[in-house]
Chain A
Amino acid sequence: MSDTTTRRVVEASNRQQGDHPSGDNRFELVDKHLKRARYEQDQLIETLHVAQDVFGYLSEDILIYVARALRLPPSMVYGVATFYHLFTFEPPGDHSCTVCTGTACFVKGADAIVQGVSDAYSVPTGETSADGSLTLKTARCLGSCGLAPVVVLDGSVLSHQNAESTLELVGTAVGGEG
C-alpha cells in the first residue's frame, strides 16, 4: 500500500465526519445531498451528479469520499462512474469547445472542425490541452441541425461553423485571457 493511498483514505474518513480538513467547503454541498438521500446506496448515480456539478469533475478523492459515505466498495463506485459518458475524471480546461458530430453537422463537415481544433491546440478529442487552457469535446446532435455545423464555445452556441471560423473564435476566447 502506498503512502498516497493511506493518506487519501485517512483524509476521506476525516471528511466523512463532517470535518473537511482540506478546508474545501464544497464537500458540504455533497453532504447536504447525501443527507437528503438518507445515504441510500441506490443514490450513487445521483450523488455522483451532484459531486460533478459541485467540483466540475470527479477526482479520485471525491470518488473515495462518495464510496465511503454510501458504504460501497471503491471498485464498484469507480466502475459505475466510468460506465457513464456524462462523468469526467480530469479537471476541465479554462475554456471548453464542444463540436457537434451528429448526422447533420457531420455531413456539413464537423470532422474538419474537430481536426482543426485538435491540431491547433494539440488536444485529442475528449481531453484538455497540456497547458489547461482548452477542453475539446464532441457531442451527438444538439438539436439545432438547421444551424449545422454547430459548435458550443464556453456555453454559447455558434452556428454554421467551419474550421477557420471556429479556430478564430477559440483563439479569441483562449487568447483573450492573456
Chain B
Amino acid sequence: MRERQPAVNVSFDGVEYEGLLGESVLECARRNGVAIPSLCFLEGLTVWGGCRICVVEVAEGHRLRPACATQVAADMEIKIETPRLRAYRKSVLELLFAEGNHVCAVCVSNGNCELQDMAVHCGMDHVRYDYQSPAREVDASHPKYVFDPNRCILCTRCVRVCDEIEGAHVWDIRHRGQQAELITEMNKPWGESLSCTWCGKCVAVCPTGSLAYQGSAIGEMEHDPVMIKRLAVARNRGEWLDPKGVS
C-alpha cells in the first residue's frame, strides 16, 4: 500500500475536488475524472513540460501553468475550459502542425494519432501560421523500425522511455530552437546504433507517426503508450497484470 498523502481542497472550473499534496494538477484532474489535454506527458515517465498543451489558469492573477509540471496546493482554483485557454491550446497545436510536415492523408498513424486526436478535441480546424515545410530525411536504417522526423513534435517521450525504462539512452535532441531535432547516438543512422536493444519502447510511446514499424501501411501503425504505464505500475507498486492499475 502506498502511503496516503495529505488531502487538500482544489477546484476545477469551479467544482470542488480532493487533491493530494505532492501530485501534479494533471494527475489530480485525471484521478478525479476531469479531462485536461496533454501530449508530452506520459504516466510512468518523468515530467518534461515541453508541449504546453496542458496549460491551465491558476486563480491568483490567472497565471498560466503547465498542469503536468505544477504541484497541487491547498485551495487551488484551477481553470481549464476558458476561452483564453482554448485559444492557447489551438495556437500550440497550429504551431506544431506548421513546424513539421504533418500530411495526415499519407501518414502511417492516420486515425491512430494523438496529435490528430488533440486537434479534433481542441477544435483546431485550420493553421494560421506559415507552414515551414522543412526538408527532413526519413531514417529507415533500423531493421525493425522507421523514424520519420517529418512527424516528430519533439515531445521527448522516446528519449525518456529509452533512458528511464529501457536504460539505453539511444535518443537525444541536438541543436535548439527551430533547428532542434531528434538524433540517435552521435547523429548516426539508427540502424548503426550500438546501444539500441530493439525493444520497441520508443515506438510504443510515440504520439504521432514519427516512430513506426517497418512496412506499416498508411493508417496501419498503432502505438501502445499504456504499455509504459503498465510497466511503471508493475515496477513501482509491485502490481503485475492488474487491470485496475491501467486506464
Contacts and interface: CB of A to CB of B under 8 A. Distances in A.
Nearest to A9: B194
Interface string A62-86: 0110000000011110110011000
Contacts of B173: 79
Contacts of B192: 1-2, 5
Interface stretch (B84-92, B94-102, B164-172, B205-213): B164-172
Main secondary structure of the interface of A (DSSP, over half): helix
B185 interface: yes
A75 B183 contact: yes
Interface in A6-22: 9
Contacts of A60: 186
A107 B112 CA distance: 51
Contacts of A5: 188, 192, 194
A2 B141 CA distance: 12
Contacts of A73: 163, 168-170, 172, 185, 195
A73 B168 CA distance: 8
A161 B243 CA distance: 72
B121 interface: no
Interface residues of B, number: 20
Given A1-B192, A2-B192, A64 B186 contact: yes
Interface residues of A, number: 15
Given A82-B175, A83-B175, A83-B176, A75 B194 contact: no
Contacts of A79: 172-174, 183
Contacts of B197: none
Interface of A: 1-2, 5, 9, 60, 63-64, 73-76, 78-79, 82-83
7 contacts: A1-B194, A73-B172, A74-B186, A75-B169, A75-B183, A75-B184, A78-B174
Given A5-B192, A75-B172, 11 more contacts: A1-B192, A1-B193, A5-B194, A75-B184, A75-B185, A76-B172, A79-B173, A79-B174, A82-B175, A83-B174, A83-B176
